[in-house]
Chain A
Amino acid sequence: MTANKPSPVHTGTIIEDDCLSLAQLCQAAGTHADWIISLVEESIIETSGDNQFSGTCLVRVRSALRLHRDLGINLAGIALAFELREQLDTAHAALNRLGYKA
C-alpha cells in the first residue's frame, strides 16, 4: 500500500433526479421498449408530459424485472405488489414519525 497516494473520491448522481428518454430507460434497465410500454399501460410507471421518464421509473422498472424473473409475477401482480408495498411504507413511516420502531 502506498500511504501517500490518496484514493480517488467518486461522485455519483441521484438516480431519482435523472430524466430519461425511452431509449435511455431501456438501456439503463437492460430491457426492451415493449416491456416498458406494458408497464406504462399497467400504470406501474408514468411518463412525464414530454415522453420523458424520471429516475424513479428506472428504479421501479428494475424492481419489476426482478419480481417477474424471480417470482414469476405478471404485470397486474407487480402493480399490486408495488401498491401494497407503498401502503406498507406509508404505515411504517407513520409509526416511525410517532416514534415507534417499525
Chain B
Amino acid sequence: MQYKDYYEIMALARDASAADIKRAYRKLARKYHPDVSKEDDAEAKFKALGEAYEVLKDPEKRAAYDQLGANWQAGQDFKPPPQWDEGFEFKGGGFNQDNPAYSDFFAELFGQAGGRHAHDSRHSQGQDSHAKIHIDLVDSYTGATRTITISTPTPDAQGRVQLKPRSLNITIPKGIKPGQHLRLNGQGNPGVGTGSAGDLILEIAFNPHPWYRVLDTDVYLDVPLAPWEAALGTTINVPTPVGSVDLKIPANSKAGGKLRLKGRGLPARQPGDLFVVLQITQPAADSETSIAAYRQLEAAFDFNPRPLWEHP
C-alpha cells in the first residue's frame, strides 16, 4: 500500500489552518471538477482531492493522519504502525456516499464509507456508475462490438470497497457522436437486498485520428493538392473512414476551400457530411529544371499576390 501525502495533493503546508484547507479545496475543486475541467486526468485528480479533503477537514482524522509523522514520501510503501489510531474515533464521519471508492490507503486508516451500512436493513436500487470510453471513428461509421475495461468499485471479503478492473463486451451503436452517453441497463453498482442494480453510463470520446477531425456529426479531412491540380482541376481518390471515393476538384480551387461529400459524415439519425478541406502544397525549387519551371511561371503571369497592400 502506498502512502498518500494529503498535504501535497492539496498543495498545503502541514500547519495549514482549517480556513486554508477549505480555501484550497474550493480552488482545486473548481479546477479539477470533471464537469468543467478540460484536463485529461481531471476525474482522478478530483477523486484524490476529495479524499484528501475528507481527512484534512475533519480535526479527528487530520490529527490521526498527522500522527503518522511527516517523514513519509508520497507513493512510499506504507503500513500503519500498530495501535496508531488509539484514542481516535472515526465512526459516522460524514463520508461522501456518492463517491465511496477511496484509496486502499484511506480504507486502511479510516475504513470505507461508514454511512453505507445504514442502508443494509432495507432494499434499495444500486447507484448508476459512470465511465468514459474512447472509441475509433470507424466504430461509429460501421457500428462495432468492443471489449472495454472499466474500474468498478467492488466489495472484497472484508466488505471494503476497492476499484477493480472489469471487462465488458459492448455494442457501439452506428452513428454515435463524441460527447454522447450510452446507458447499459443493470450494469452499474449492485442493489442492496432485492434492489435492482444501477445502470452503467458510458461517455463516448473518439480516439484522435491522424487524418480526420470530427465536429458533431461532420468529419473534416485535409487534402493537399499540387498547384496545377488546384488551378486546372482534376479528379483524385480521397479516403473516407469506410472506403475511398473519387472526388472531382474544380478548376481554380483555392487553398482553404471546402468540398462537401453529403451524408458521408457520421451516420447519425441526421447523417453528417464529410468536408474535404483543400490545401495547396508546392514542390521545392531544388534543381535546375524546377528553378527554370518557376522562372517560366513568373514570366507567364502578371500576378500580384498582395493586391490589398497596393494602396494603403
Give A12 to B182 CA distance when docked, in angstroms: 6
Q: Which residues of A contact B79 (CB under 8 A)?
A: none
Q: Which residues of B contact A10 (CB under 8 A)?
A: 168-171, 184, 187
Min C-beta distance of B177 to chain A, whole Å: 8
Give A11 to B200 CA distance when docked, in angstroms: 11
Interface assignment of B220: CB less than 8 Å from any CB of chain A: yes
Interface string of A62-102 (1 = CB under 8 A from B): 01001101110000000001000100100011001101010
Stretch at the interface among A14-22, A31-39, A40-48: A14-22
**Given A85-B36, A99-B222, A93 and B269 contact (CB-CB distance below 8 Å):** no
Inter-chain contact A13/B182, CB cutoff 8 Å:
yes
Inter-chain contact B180/A15, CB cutoff 8 Å:
yes
Contact of A15 among B145, B168, B183, B269 (CB under 8 A): B183
Interface assignment of A49: CB less than 8 Å from any CB of chain B: no
Inter-chain contact A70/B180, CB cutoff 8 Å:
no
**Given A14-B173, A16-B181, A71 and B98 contact (CB-CB distance below 8 Å):** no
Q: Which residues of A contact B50 (CB under 8 A)?
A: 70
Min C-beta distance of B141 to chain A, whole Å: 16
Give A59 to B35 CA distance when docked, in angstroms: 11
Measured as residues with beta carbon below 8 angstroms from the partner, the interface class of chain A is 20 to 34
Contact of A71 among B29, B180, B183, B222 (CB under 8 A): B29
Interface assignment of B201: CB less than 8 Å from any CB of chain A: yes
**Given A9-B171, A10-B187, A71-B29, A17 and B213 contact (CB-CB distance below 8 Å):** no
Interface assignment of B311: CB less than 8 Å from any CB of chain A: no
Q: Which residues of B contact A7 (CB under 8 A)?
A: 167, 169
Inter-chain contact A96/B213, CB cutoff 8 Å:
yes
**Complex: chain A residue closest to B127, CB-CB:** A30
Contact of B202 among A9, A12, A85 (CB under 8 A): A12
Give A97 to B273 CA distance when docked, in angstroms: 13
Min C-beta distance of A59 to chain B, whole Å: 6
Min C-beta distance of B238 to chain A, whole Å: 16
Give A99 to B42 CA distance when docked, in angstroms: 24
Give A85 to B184 CA distance when docked, in angstroms: 27
Interface assignment of B62: CB less than 8 Å from any CB of chain A: no
Inter-chain contact A14/B182, CB cutoff 8 Å:
yes
Give A19 to B33 CA distance when docked, in angstroms: 28
Contact of A17 among B128, B202, B269 (CB under 8 A): B269
Q: Which residues of B contact A96 (CB under 8 A)?
A: 213, 215
Inter-chain contact B30/A15, CB cutoff 8 Å:
no
Q: Which residues of A contact B215 (CB under 8 A)?
A: 93, 96-97
Inter-chain contact A15/B36, CB cutoff 8 Å:
no
Q: Which residues of B contact A16 (CB under 8 A)?
A: 177, 180-181
Contact of B145 among A9, A14, A97 (CB under 8 A): A9
Inter-chain contact A88/B38, CB cutoff 8 Å:
yes
Inter-chain contact A15/B182, CB cutoff 8 Å:
yes
Some 25 contacts from A to B, beta carbons below 8 A apart, are: A7-B167, A8-B169, A9-B169, A10-B169, A10-B184, A11-B171, A11-B173, A13-B182, A14-B173, A16-B180, A30-B128, A63-B35, A67-B36, A70-B33, A71-B26, A71-B29, A71-B30, A81-B36, A92-B38, A93-B215, A93-B216, A96-B213, A97-B213, A97-B215, A101-B208
List the 6 shortest-distance A-B pairs measured between CB atoms, nearest first.
Answer: A12-B182, A15-B181, A11-B171, A12-B184, A9-B169, A63-B35
